[in-house]
Amino acid sequence: MPENPTSTRATVQLTEKMAAAGADVVLVVTPCFYKGKMDSRALIQHFTEVADRSPVPVVLYSVPANTGLDLPLDAVVTLSQHPNIHGLKDSGGDISRISLIVHKAKSQDFQVLAGSAGFLMAAYCVVCALANVLGREVCELERLCVSGRWQEARVLQQRLIEPNAAVTRKLGVPALKQAMDWFGFHGGACRSPLQPLSQEETLMLRKDFSNNGWL
Amino acid sequence: MPENPTSTRATVQLTEKMAAAGADVVLVVTPCFYKGKMDSRALIQHFTEVADRSPVPVVLYSVPANTGLDLPLDAVVTLSQHPNIHGLKDSGGDISRISLIVHKAKSQDFQVLAGSAGFLMAAYCVVCALANVLGREVCELERLCVSGRWQEARVLQQRLIEPNAAVTRKLGVPALKQAMDWFGFHGGACRSPLQPLSQEETLMLRKDFSNNGWL
Amino acid sequence: MPENPTSTRATVQLTEKMAAAGADVVLVVTPCFYKGKMDSRALIQHFTEVADRSPVPVVLYSVPANTGLDLPLDAVVTLSQHPNIHGLKDSGGDISRISLIVHKAKSQDFQVLAGSAGFLMAAYCVVCALANVLGREVCELERLCVSGRWQEARVLQQRLIEPNAAVTRKLGVPALKQAMDWFGFHGGACRSPLQPLSQEETLMLRKDFSNNGWL
Amino acid sequence: MPENPTSTRATVQLTEKMAAAGADVVLVVTPCFYKGKMDSRALIQHFTEVADRSPVPVVLYSVPANTGLDLPLDAVVTLSQHPNIHGLKDSGGDISRISLIVHKAKSQDFQVLAGSAGFLMAAYCVVCALANVLGREVCELERLCVSGRWQEARVLQQRLIEPNAAVTRKLGVPALKQAMDWFGFHGGACRSPLQPLSQEETLMLRKDFSNNGWL
């Protein structure tokens, strides 16, 4: 049988390839095929070994909508103490969980990145799909938060929620690529098995941007 | 067969009993037994009929951890226009959803109540289990938010997340009653089939309060 | 607050009302509102108390599609020893689980009822929605199984799967009532919040019966 | 970004490698990372392209416990007509679904393989984890079914359910390897991130075999 692409060994090999190709940091998703066995013990062991051997720093990536698996809180806290693990991208959307991680890992030099522009206001940092389309606006939102201009931040945040949902959980990567094309970037074709948007989905996407004044 | 307790008719009868007993408002949970059939159409019809006939104002209650069902966004927006529906208590914890509802229903006189002290900062109002135990502190958090003292709010918010999780999704109603006893209130016995906490659970609960400086 | 309709006390009261109204046996669904707390300990305690006090025999009812909760195997085995618990209706559709319960409880006088005509062949007995529409055929299927005519049973079983799915998980109670009307029985109106079938759903239902030669 | 290992292109390349290494047939799991977008349209397109280009026959593999995704019934029926798709391994455990697929695809030369020894009796063929441990017994069960000796089949089937659950959904691959060692085969070490069984899990596993008379 060929190597399971999310085995610890294959993951280490991939970090080496990425580093050789010039990556400054690697984002490592939770392994999830045998999800029933992926408890804290297994996940701590996996990420520790990957971080021990990766030539570049590791950022943990928890994205339950895709993996069916939340990286458990206690595993994040333990892993935040590893010198080669620099942060977590959390796309789960549970804001109390994210706040709690920030609170628990605050003695470490550990960044918690909100994996969605839908709740940027509530976190410190963000890595998000929508920034590929409305990058300036996402940066503006961060600036407003950092400088404490909460009233303006709230207004801008609310206008970003629907476009953000459209290019993530509602219509996904094909919508992200379509929206990039509309805004003058190169989205391009989807990689199969992802399919292009249907006409109806394209209209829905357009509405989520135009209703909020972006198109 | 006896009446299904969450049928529209039984729900209307219950609002009448509650009003007769002196209730100022009724909190009406989403019906959920036939959850596969509870789409927007059915739920709008149900809550509209309940609100038409309830002698006192209705607050919608969406609590997916218990019902297995999220009240859909479009149903909330439609129902927010009913003159006898005054708000929504949302215990789902998806903060982008809550912000979006606030945004969409802002022309109405409609209150969105965060159903958990775990993310009070992100909402306008709150109805939460933890207020039975740390009532003063939850009010203080609201005051800090309302007056824009975000730095202090954040610190207090973070100290409330673990106790809040403990008396809700982690250990539930039996933990809430135990904690009330500790803080000088009357928690009392659980109603069967809920069981009292085991010794191990009691220790875990104690730690979630003491680790954050409340005990 | 009014009594939670699935509290132990309310359930006992309901068994008394049912017995007084002439019921020979009561089918008692798993309590599920606080589903996070409904472990084996709580469920064994609940059903034991109900069975101790019910004037008529109790049949346990596990229907995870509606309650979000499977009655755990070890709880069923323990409860099967109670003299006033005579069986289990299991609508979960996991045939290995059902076989295992039959195997584990075989020393007791305990009946396991498959809660669906979709897998009658694999069980001993059945209580199913479809019997309201195709009662003769469901009985015929049982006769074929009991007398070991497996080839004919298989053919009949396969023709019943789609109609059965249509009146249960696919289109639910409104479809069951519609089909009853077609077959000369009285289905009648649905109780709100259940809604009548749309035109499209009615066509879909018709096809599931006609494709298998029943209409 | 490196190739997503379950993209259509990467899957085709893998079938070529497998064929070159001597495989007679390839078992192709449903792609699942972007599970929200994996509807029938996308899955039919994916498997059609893989089957068009694979040098050896393809067997579809639906394993929702690992992928979070059921291959939809209509997609299976469509794909069963492809000349290079020879069957389906279905590890979902929904026996009405499996019977229905057998029924719907019967005009094709298409094999439906029950992906578990927990319900072998109900299917025609089986590919199962337990056969690595109790191979002779699984074959004996098939022989009993094929020759219509249903009473003996039922007794044997029931003794296999617990060992089967133990090496699949309950304790998984590490348990399978441990049990292989006990029965004189080479199980060997687990590939990380899978962890070896704890002492308590090993005892539990032993009991599931010894209680049914296999150890």
The ipTM estimated for the assembled molecules is 0.78
pLDDT value for D93: 73
Strand, coil or helix: B86: strand
Strand duo A58-62 + C26-29: pairing: unpaired
Beta strands in chain A (DSSP E): 26-29, 58-62, 85-90, 111-114, 125-126
Q: What is the mean pLDDT of residues B168-181?
A: 91
Q: What is the CA radius of gyration of chain B?
A: 18
From A99, A150, A161, residue closest to B100, measured CB to CB = A161
Instruction: Report whether pLDDT(A116) > 80.
Output: no
Strand, coil or helix: D41: helix
Name residues whose C-beta falls within 8 Å of residue D81's C-beta, 6 or more positions apart in sequence.
D108
* Mean pLDDT for chain A overall: 87
> Do the Cβ atoms of D173 and A26 come closer than 8 Å?
no
Residues on D contacting A at a C-beta cutoff of 8 Å: 2, 4-9, 14, 17-18, 31, 33-38, 41-43, 45-46, 49, 65-68, 169, 172-174, 191-195
From D103, D150, D161, residue closest to C148, measured CB to CB = D150
Q: What are the pLDDT digits (tens) for A43-86?
A: 999 999 999 999 999 999 999 988 889 999 999 999 999 999 99
> Do the Cβ atoms of B162 and B211 come closer than 8 Å?
yes
Confidence of residue A165 (pLDDT cuts 50, 70, 90): confident
> Do the Cβ atoms of C78 and C107 come closer than 8 Å?
no
| C-alpha closest to that of B29 among B93, B95, B119, B90 | B90
pLDDT value for B199: 94
- For the record, the structure tokens of D197 come out as 């069984």
C-alpha C180/C-alpha C177 separation (Å) is 5
From B93, B158, B164, residue closest to A103, measured CB to CB = B158
Q: What is the mean pLDDT of residues B13-21?
A: 95
pLDDT value for D155: 85
> Do the Cβ atoms of D40 and D9 come closer than 8 Å?
no
**C126 bridge partner residues:** C114
**D26 bridge partner residues:** D58
Confidence of residue C180 (pLDDT cuts 50, 70, 90): very high
Amino acid at A62: S
- For the record, the structure tokens of A29 come out as 């998703």
Instruction: Report whether pLDDT(B87) > 90.
Output: yes
From A7, A42, A194, residue closest to D37, measured CB to CB = A194
pLDDT value for A117: 62
Which residues of chain A does D43 touch, with a Cβ-Cβ cutoff of 8 Å? 193
| C-alpha closest to that of A54 among A94, A96, A86, A91 | A86
pLDDT value for A126: 55
Q: What are the pLDDT digits (tens) for C64-91?
A: 888 889 999 999 999 999 999 999 998 8
Residue given tokens 């279905």 in the structure block: D90
> Do the Cβ atoms of D195 and A45 come closer than 8 Å?
yes
Instruction: Report whether pLDDT(B106) > 70.
Output: yes
- Asked if the peptide bond before residue C31 counts as cis, ω within 30 degrees of 0, the response is no
- For the record, the structure tokens of B55 come out as 């002698």
- To the nearest whole Å, the CA of A97 is away from the closest chain B CA by 8
- To the nearest whole Å, the CA of A119 is away from the closest chain B CA by 6
Which residues of chain C does B194 touch, with a Cβ-Cβ cutoff of 8 Å? 34, 37, 42
Q: Which residue of C has its CA nearest to D118?
A: C96
Backbone angles phi, psi at D204, to 5 degrees: -60, -45
| C-alpha closest to that of A182 among A200, A202, A161, A162 | A202
- To the nearest whole Å, the CA of C120 is away from the closest chain B CA by 23
Which residues of chain D does A67 touch, with a Cβ-Cβ cutoff of 8 Å? 33
Q: What is the mean pLDDT of residues A118-147?
A: 76
Annotation says A89 is catalytic:
yes
For each of the domains in chain B, give its residue range(s) and CATH number, in order of start.
1-124 (3.20.20.70), 127-215 (no CATH)
Strand, coil or helix: A129: helix
CB contact under 8 A, B122 and A150: no
From D96, D158, D164, residue closest to C119, measured CB to CB = D96
Q: What are the pLDDT digits (tens) for C16-46?
A: 999 999 999 999 999 988 888 889 998 999 9
Q: Which residue of C has its CA nearest to B1?
A: C18
> Do the Cβ atoms of B127 and B113 come closer than 8 Å?
yes
Strand, coil or helix: C69: coil
- For the record, the structure tokens of D55 come out as 């040098």
Confidence of residue C119 (pLDDT cuts 50, 70, 90): low
CB contact under 8 A, A158 and B118: no
Strand, coil or helix: B176: helix
Residue D6 CA to its chain's centroid (Å): 18
Instruction: Report whether pLDDT(A110) > 70.
Output: yes
Amino acid at A163: P
Q: What is the mean pLDDT of residues C32-61?
A: 92
Instruction: Report whether pLDDT(A12) > 80.
Output: yes
**B28 bridge partner residues:** B60
The percent of residues above 70 in pLDDT, for chain C, comes to: 93
CB contact under 8 A, D100 and C158: yes
- D156-160 CB contacts, 8 Å cutoff, 24+ apart: D157/C99, D157/D120, D157/D121, D158/C99, D158/C100, D158/C102, D158/C103, D159/D212, D159/D213, D159/D214, D160/D117, D160/D118, D160/D120, D160/D130, D160/D134, D160/D212
Q: Report, as residue numbers or ranges, the catalytic residues of C.
A: 89
The Cβ of residue B45 has, within 10 Å, a number of other Cβ atoms equal to 16
C-alpha C28/C-alpha D201 separation (Å) is 34
- Mutate: best of B13, B37, B47, B170, partner C, most C CBs <10 A: B37
Residue A132 CA to its chain's centroid (Å): 13
Give pLDDT < 70 ranges for chain D: 1-4, 116-127
Q: Write down which chains contact chain C via at least 3 CB pairs under 8 A.
A: B, D
C-alpha A76/C-alpha A89 separation (Å) is 11
pLDDT value for B80: 95
